[in-house]
Amino acid sequence: MLTGFGLLVIFVVIALNASTTAGSVVAGGLGAVSAGLAGYVSRTFVKSQEVASSHLRAYFDQPLEFSRYLAAERLVADAELSQEQRAEILTTLVQAIVTGPTAPVQTDINGQQQPNRAQ
């Protein structure tokens, strides 16, 4: 990112100090290309960081999710429920474990909800 910005500054200085119009146009074009390259590289790094962050978040959320299931199991074991009620609750608990946690709702810059995308 810094290299792209540095190249942009260098080409702007060259364009301003060029003695011919053609030299200014070439330097300006090279500056635009370097700015585009810097933007592409920056976006790639930011996207990579977002993906790594979401994986890390999932890694640290897993123990919390598991502790919730264990707490629910303890509550069911300690409650004085009939066998039918206990079976129904355990079935619901197992279904929740199998389906996994729901993905958080993503919002855009304007605060509007966006559909979750598979990654």
What is the domain range of residue 89?
2-100
Write down the residue that tokens 């790639």 correspond to.
44
pLDDT in tens, 2-12: 777 787 788 77
Residue 119 lies in a domain: no
pLDDT in tens, 83-96: 888 888 888 888 88
What is the number of structural domains in the chain? 1
The overall pTM is greater than 0.85:
no
Residue 11, number of CB atoms within 10 A of its CB: 20
Residue 34 lies in a domain: yes
**Among candidate residues 7, 69, 50, the one with its CA nearest the CA of residue 32:** 7
Residue 64 lies in a domain: yes
Residue 21 lies in a domain: yes
